[in-house]
Amino acid sequence: MSQTQTAKSATATVQTWLHDFGTALQTHNIERVLALFGDECYWRDFLTFTWNLKTCEGKDEIQAMLNATLNHTLPSDWQLEGDAAQNGDTCEAWLTFQTAVASGKGYLRLKEGKCWTLLTTMQELNDYPEQCNHHRPKGAEHGANKQRETWSESREREEAELGYTRQPYCVVIGGGQGGIGLGARLKQMGVPTIIIERNERAGDSWRKRYKSLCLHDPVWYDHLPYIPFPENWPVFTPKDKLGDWLEMYTKVMELNYWSSTECQNASYDKAADEWVVNVKRNGEEITLRPKQLVMATGMSGMPNIPSFAGADSFEGEQQHSSQHPGPDAYQGKKCVIVGSNNSAHDIAAALWEHDADVTMLQRSSTHIVKSDSLMEEVLGPLYSEEAVAGGVTTEKADLIFASIPYKVLPDFQRPAFEAIKKRDAEFYQRLENAGFMLDFGDDDSGLFLKYLRRGSGYYIDVGACDLVANGDIRLRSSVGIEHINPHSITLTDGSELPADLIVYATGYGSMNNWAAQLISQEVADKVGKCWGMGSDTTKDPGPWEGELRNMWKPTQQEALWFHGGNLHQSRHYSRYLALQLKARMEGIDTPVYGLQPVHHTS
């Protein structure tokens, strides 16, 4: 069969399935709906049916979801968008649809004519479209008006009123990439929002990190909403360049961004259905009363700084990687990096470049993947110049990746990382010969699963591994710290490392640590652990939940939300969080199906 005939056959198959699916839903014939799904099947829904981020696995879970949601969702007008494609034994297609309150977009995979995976996502609220494209503001007021208010005057009035004489509907704590991207979404949806950031300038959360810091993800993966990076932007963005972009973006998108502002505490006033958020802005104490509170303090919580006997006696410098200023002051110094993931390698390499004597202390195995290999074998089909040329827009790439249920994502990822193992076998052998402990995740599924499960345990190699393999960066593996002395570290094997500087590249805790500090431990425990999906792998204890815990969706604490992740996730999932907040502001009924139970409190 020719390629054209294959495409026509796939398209006909999807159209038949979609017609039957739409008819069965419209007539509430759930039994008929289930007959259209295979024995192994997954339905991942972003808001359209569940007002939640929820994956239903198997027909029983799909049936329960439809029984609970179909009456108020009222889905209709299921349409194939473009032609379907045949990919091996799988038929894949884009689709659009409507619900009672919103327009939706989806991605479908059929095997032997029955649904294997279905993604349904809310794109826009019908009565409240974003102020862009056909709905963009005019900007100029034509005609004569003695009370004319210019765009600039209107903006100045908004800045003077919001938070003082008029309360925001939403407060976002954290003005890094996540808070800024979400703030832009909310601005376009007309949700009055204030973003709280303790740094002096937008982008400082990047500028103030160690000077060699650079994004390890490529530019095609890292665009912000509405304003993509320009075509001459470097593939890997240096930290200060990203900081300047975020500052520019904040100004151009006209966000109500309160820099030099620190949240002192927050509490939920149940009687008033609002938060009481006390902040200090440029020395002035202000109380905000938003209806919704978003913690956008980053994917991670507070720095994990281990406690070791004798640490108080150390006469050199000790710092967490988040506090490390860069290598300039450490030429000729003996530096010990505790950890072996991204920050550890970046900092160690920069110190070596500045003629420091560097030792990396590896306490557990690390997943290493070379940047070029990751780009070509894993990211390239969705996020690359070639993908863009092939018609895979950022929006399409995000939805294709989201269309893979987390349960089967390891099966999608393993072949790519197996290819990387073979491609870079000599590289990995050199590292192992140097004593470096390697892994590809508990089930060999590679970097992204490690990231989603635990947010740590990997390094995207941009050169530091050669220094480790060559011995330029000394390596001590399979040992821990027994005691810290005034000028050295005693290891658990009894050996001693002289040290002038100790950098703890030991990661971060759960995001709900911030909720414990700013709200209360009771609320933090009520919400439970943030991040991870219950895979029962290292640092991601079960039970299985199938979505990232508490991220971008309703939590057990009313009107409290968490927003974080890398630039890709901040861009994509900010849409769904903003839609949930907008719907609540406008009084749209948002019955949440499958609210996540709490299994882990930290």
Query: For 317-344, what is the mean pLDDT?
Result: 94
Is the model's pLDDT at 490 over the cut of 60?
yes
What pLDDT, in 10s, does the model give residues 129-172?
Answer: 998 888 888 887 777 788 788 889 899 999 999 999 999 999 99
What's the mean pLDDT in 468-482?
A: 95
**pLDDT score recorded for residue 300:** 58
Closest to 336 (Cα-Cα) out of 487, 507, 508, 493: 487
**Model pLDDT for residues 351-390, shown as the tens digit of each residue:** 999 999 999 999 999 999 999 999 999 999 999 999 999 9
CA angle at residue 458 from 536 to 460, to 5 degrees?
145
Task: Specify burial of residue 6 (Cβ count, 10 A radius: 0-12, 13-18, 19+).
Answer: middle
pLDDT tens digit sequence for 509-522: 778 889 999 999 99
Integer angstrom CA distances of residue 292 from 114, 172, 266, 275: 41, 9, 11, 7
**Tens-place pLDDT, residues 529-551:** 999 999 999 999 999 999 999 99
**Among residues 114, 102, 53, 115, which one has the least CA distance to residue 76?**
102
The rounded distance, in Å, linking the Cα atoms of 206 and 177 is: 9
pLDDT at 302 over 80: no
**Which amino acid would we find at residue 587?**
G
The confidence band for 507, taking pLDDT boundaries of 50, 70 and 90, is confident
Q: How high is the pLDDT of residue 212?
A: 82
User: Mean pLDDT, to the nearest integer, of 392-398?
Assistant: 96
Average pLDDT over residues 554-568: 96
pLDDT band at 602 (very low <50, low <70, confident <90, very high): low
The predicted structure's pLDDT at residue 574: 98
pLDDT at 209: 86
Q: What is the pLDDT of residues 171-203, one digit of tens each?
A: 999 999 999 999 999 999 999 999 999 999 999
The 10s digit of each residue's pLDDT in 566-579 is: 999 999 999 999 99
**Is 60 exceeded by the pLDDT of residue 1?**
no
Spatial CA neighbour of 69 closest among 41, 33, 96: 33
Which of 130, 126, 79 minimizes the C-alpha distance to 103?
A: 126
pLDDT at residue number 299: 61
Task: Return the pLDDT at 148.
Answer: 80
Return the pLDDT at 464. 95
pLDDT for the residue numbered 142: 77
DSSP β-bridge partners for residue 583: none
Return the percentage of the chain with pLDDT > 90, whole number.
89
Sign of CA dihedral 200, 205, 206, 209: positive
**Tokens at residue 66, please?**
């439809």
pLDDT of residue 130: 93
For residue 81, give every residue at least 6 positions away whose Cβ sits within 8 Å of its Cβ, in sequence order, or none.
Answer: 93, 94, 95, 96, 105
User: Average pLDDT of the chain?
Assistant: 95
CA–CA dist 135, 13 (Å, integer):
36
Q: Give the pLDDT band (50/70/90) at residue 298.
A: confident
CA 395 to chain centre: 15
Q: What is the mean pLDDT of residues 470-478?
A: 96
Nearest CA among 420, 498, 496, 495 for reference residue 461: 420
